[in-house]
Structure formats: C-alpha cells, structure tokens
Amino acid sequence: MNVLIVYAHPEPKSLNGALRDFAVERLRRAGHDVQLSDLYAMRWKPTFDAADFLDRDPNEPLDPEAASKHAYETATQTPDIAAEQDKLRQADVLILQFPMWWYTMPAILKGWIDRVYAYGFGYGVGEHSLRKWGDRFGEGTFKGKRAMLVVTTGGWAAHYSERGINGRIDDLLFPINHGVLYYPGFDVLPSFVVYQTGYMDESHYRQTLFELGARLDALWETDPIPYRMQNGGDYDIPSCELKPGLSAARSGLDIHLAK
C-alpha cells in the first residue's frame, strides 16, 4: 500500500520529528511505500493567490473558484500544486501530522489544503444541481482511500475531554476530519492525539510510540468514524439538513454520526 504523510513542524529534532521518523520506519518495515511531504523542509508556499495560476489575465479580478477550476482543467496550475495532487492520487492512505496551534493546524498545512484541493479535485466534483449537491461527504475524488490525523498538543487530555474547557477534541477536529477529509471522500480514522507534550518522559514517550505503532499496523482494519454520507438518504437535498427523526436523541456535531 502507498501511504502519504503530510507533515508540518518547523524542527526535525522535535517530538513531532521523532514520531514522523518512527511512522515512516514502521510503515516501510511492514512493506508499504511511504511518501513524505515535509512542508517546512519543502518551503511550501502557504498562500493561495493569483501566482498559483499560470494562465490568467492579470488584468482580470481573481475569482478563487473560477481560477482554480480553469487551472485544474487546463493543467496550468503551478508544478508544486500538481505534484502534491499526484501524490494524493497515488496514496491509499493519507496521514496529516501536525502540532495543534490555536486549536487547529499550522498555517503552512492549511495552505497545503487551500492550494492542493483544487476545484474539480478537492471540491466541485459531481453533479451540482438542486437535486444533487455534488459528490461530497463520503463521495468524491478520494473515495476508497483512508485518512488519519496525528496531532500533538501541550494541553492535558482532560482539557480536551467531554467537559474540558478547550472543547472536546472530536469537536475541535470536526472541521478537519469531516470538512477537509470526509468531504472529498476519505474514510476518516479516529485521530491519534498525543497530549501533554511538555511532560514527555521516557515512559510517556515509549507508551506513545507503542500506541502509534499499533494504530499504524491497523490502518487497514480500523473502523472509520461513521459519518453519514450526504447522498446516502440521510440528508434532504438541497438544504443538506439531516432528515427529521435521525439522531433525534443526540445534539451537537455527533448528530452527523450514523450510530
């Protein structure tokens, strides 16, 4: 299998660097091909702007969606974007690894999403009409592939628990797991989160590697988060609202889980 790790930490000699090296080694030993996009090492350009589109009239205002669509269709994107799209096409599994900065991913990784997820690739896929609102949320370019977040944070697990002040970790990561990964079709595995990174003694570190190793060994057997498919009958179209009666006993973002 082919695993793409998109990695966003500025310092190789860090906990994140060690976890990345461990993951690459573990997957290769298991016989998998591993591609690594080390965004800091690549000096990835985070800013989506007019320079991303090689066939544009510079006198025309930039319409982000239209420019993305045209460049994707005519193969006039910049080579850095096209190369990452190729890696995604080849991947069976995508891993996004990053430290939690301000309750989400660092800017450099957000800029990878903003630029690589072109119209016609990451979105704008399938029929868009009043009876079909695109191939998305369970369908799309990445259908059949799997994805997982590997996240580190200085905060305690309790701070991110059901009643923790930061907000429950699954709710904080919902915009990424559901909005960035499930949207274009990935089956999304439960996130691997390392807490309290400021107190990483030998025992905590060994335990972290043990648990990460187990998750990597089980990438193909782990049950994905059971998000509901947009076009599976659970949502009204085009309002995209969950049909009355479904998840009636639940509230919050958990209503979008099928069980």
Q: Does 179 bind a second copy (CB under 8 A)?
A: yes
Alpha carbons 5 and 24: distance in angstroms, whole number: 8
CA distances to 124, 134, 146 from 258, rounded to whole Å, are: 25, 20, 18
Q: How far is the CB of 30 from a second copy (least distance, A)?
A: 29
> Total binding residues for a second copy by CB under 8 A?
65
Q: Rule CB under 8 A: choose which of 18, 30, 82, 107 binds a second copy.
A: 107
Instruction: Select the residue interacting with a second copy from 178, 189, 191, 193 (CB under 8 A).
Output: 178
Closer by beta carbon to a second copy, 22 or else 40 = 40
Contact set for a second copy, span 218-247 (CB under 8 A): 228, 230, 235, 238-242
**Contact between 47 and a second copy per CB under 8 A:** yes
Give the separation between CA 53 and CA 76, rounded to whole angstroms.
6
Residue 243 CA neighbour count, 13 Å, CB half: 12
Find the binder of a second copy among 2, 32, 35, 40 (CB under 8 A).
40
Closest distance of CB 32 from a second copy, Å: 28
Question: Can residue 180 be called a binding residue for a second copy (CB under 8 A)?
Answer: yes
Residue that has been written with the tokens 């868009």 in this structure: 128
Least distance to a second copy, CB of residue 215, Å: 24
The two tokens of residue 190 are: 């439960």
Question: Distances in Å between the alpha carbon of 55 and those of 51, 65, 77, 89, 129?
Answer: 10, 14, 8, 24, 28
Of 69, 103, 204, 213, which one interacts with a second copy (CB under 8 A)?
A: 103
Cβ-proximal residues to 25 (8 Å cutoff; 6+ apart), any chain: none
In this chain, which of 2, 78, 166, 196 binds a second copy, going by CB under 8 A? 166
CA-based nearest residue to 5, from 101, 84, 114? 84
Across 128-164, b (16+ Cβ under 10 Å) vs e yields eeeeebbbbbbbbbbeebbbbbbbbbebeeeebeeee
Q: Which two tokens stand for residue 83?
A: 């190369």
Interaction pattern, residues 53-82, with a second copy; x per rule: CB under 8 A: --------xxxxx-----------------
Contact set with a second copy (CB under 8 A): 10-14, 40, 46-50, 61-65, 99, 101-108, 110-111, 113-114, 117, 137, 154, 156, 158-159, 161, 163-168, 171-172, 174-176, 178-180, 228, 230, 235, 238-242, 250-256
